[in-house]
Amino acid sequence: MTGRDPSRLRPWLLATATVVALVLVGGAVWFSRAPGTALLDAPLDVRLDVSPDTAAARAVQDASSLSRQDRALLRRISTRPTALWVSGPPESAERIVDEMVQGATARRATATLVAYNVPGRDCGSHSASPQDLDAAGYRAWIDAFVAGLGTHRAVVVLEPDALAQLDCLAPDRRAERITLLRYGIERIAAQGSWVYVDAGHSGWHGATEMADRLEAAGVAQAAGFSLNVSNFRSTDDQVRYGSEISAALGTSTHFVVDTSRNGRPSDDGEWCNPPGRGLGRTPTVETDHPLVDAYLWIKHPGKSDGPCNGGPPAGQWWPEYALMLARNAPGG
């Protein structure tokens, strides 16, 4: 941990810390290394994978309904490294993750994966899981996810919005979620992958509040945290916010920023398929900032946020929105 004064933590976080301590003593989670070891301190020096099996890539390949100009626009998405999202039942997680990391390895690159299956996901809104796991099921799912990684190292973004949305849960469910996130961090980190637990964005919670939540969830065992996933806030604002969180943690905790759709940023709070947005900075691990490990496309540009602003259900490919993002990309 970071050595911060426990009296600064909110009461429910103190209670959660007690629960987590009991779990650790009981041996129910995995440890393999302490904070500050070589992996955590090393830069994220990897070649980010471009999967040929993303929604954008399939749309370009099946171009019967696209003009040549629209195909060129969609290549601005299909040729960029984009994260692959994993959810669903534990029975399929190992196979899905294995296929993803094996494909990336064959391309001499490193996969970016999103683990998105925590119980009570998204507070019952558009992206909520139709088959919600219980705590035991989630641990089994994380175990299967890690088994799928095998000996391959990946960049893993853990549970977008899970910490930022703690307020929608009853106190006992908050404690459970913190414990499950800690389990996910420790299992994935023990496997050898870079795990970044999600921390929302600058318009959601203050930096000190989010630092408290990250600390309770065990960010000290992770490579860092992620910001702006599926959102539209400016990169500069997220770098400022992430730096404030890192300072509040009392460490030099690193972070990654989702730049998939913030080429025309907005801080108006509209998050569900807002019009007028554009593709953001191309994914890279060369950020020229000591705390920023990467700018990533974590949200797949062109996948709907939900049935709003004319969009299809959450997670479905929406070519019209993808084309708008590509047209509005800076310099496009």
pLDDT digits (tens, 9 = 90+) for 168-220: 999 999 999 999 999 999 999 999 999 999 999 999 999 999 999 999 999 99
pLDDT digits (tens, 9 = 90+) for 121-148: 888 665 555 578 999 999 999 999 999 9
Buried b (16+ CB within 10 A) or exposed e, 58-79: ebbeeeeebeeebeebbebbbe
Cα–Cα dist 60/70, whole Å: 9
Mean pLDDT, rounded, for 302-314: 94
pLDDT band at 36 (very low <50, low <70, confident <90, very high): very low
pTM: 0.88
CA distances from 221 to 37, 124, 160, 182, 276 (A): 10, 29, 18, 9, 39
> Considering 49, 70, 122, 161, which one is annotated as catalytic?
161
204 carries a ligand binding annotation? yes
Q: Catalytic site residue 212?
A: no
pLDDT band at 65 (very low <50, low <70, confident <90, very high): confident
* pLDDT in the model for residue 75: 96
> Considering 49, 198, 237, 305, which one is annotated as catalytic?
305
303 carries a ligand binding annotation? no
pLDDT > 50? residue 39: no
Ordered domains of the chain (ranges, CATH) = 7-327 (3.20.20.40)
231 carries a ligand binding annotation? yes
Which of 70, 193, 146, 57 has the alpha carbon at shortest distance from 138? Answer: 146
What would the two tokens of residue 23 be? 């779990």
Q: Which residues pair with 110 in a beta bridge?
A: 48
CA distances from 65 to 57, 164, 303 (A): 14, 40, 18
What's the mean pLDDT when you consider all of the chain? 88
pLDDT > 50? residue 31: no
Q: Catalytic site residue 293?
A: no
* pLDDT in the model for residue 11: 52
Q: DSSP assignment, residue 282?
A: P
194 carries a ligand binding annotation? no
pLDDT digits (tens, 9 = 90+) for 235-263: 999 999 999 999 999 989 999 999 999 99
318 carries a ligand binding annotation? no
